[in-house]
Structure 1
């Protein structure tokens, strides 16, 4: 899950809105877009509401999550070093299964 901040014109002024994008892998290794949500800012509470929504839609078996920035999470365990995260960004889709 990642939040991307966009500048949006609304009510005669430009404001920031955050679009959250969740992508998952199915059991055959294909990517699925699980959803997109729009919030006012990046926040812990909004991300938790997104995860609650995914659970209500019966998304099962979340084994690993990648979310940034870390400062938004009260309790987390860092499992992958930064270099591994950087590798995933540049790896071809066939190697990400």
Structure 2
């Protein structure tokens, strides 16, 4: 699955600045999101994905990996869906 929307855990980290890779507002992000939580949210919403061992270039030492997601909507919609799931504890919306 080479094509698809790529998501990195740093997109949802409220501890980071936008220039450091955060893609959500401080209010909708969470501190130090875990890749397992993102995986549970995608599974709960029945969104097909592949988890890869590739890391965000700015955080190569964290080894959190990334998700390649087959999502029919926009990347912004997917980020908002995952972010809201992280805020509610990974429950399906």
TM-score range normalised by the length of the shorter chain: under 0.3
| Larger Rg belongs to | 1
TM-score (structure 1 length as normaliser): 0.26
The TM-score, its normalising length taken from structure 2, stands at 0.27
RCO higher in structure (CA 8 A, sep ≥6): 2
- The structure whose residues are more often strand, as a share, is 1
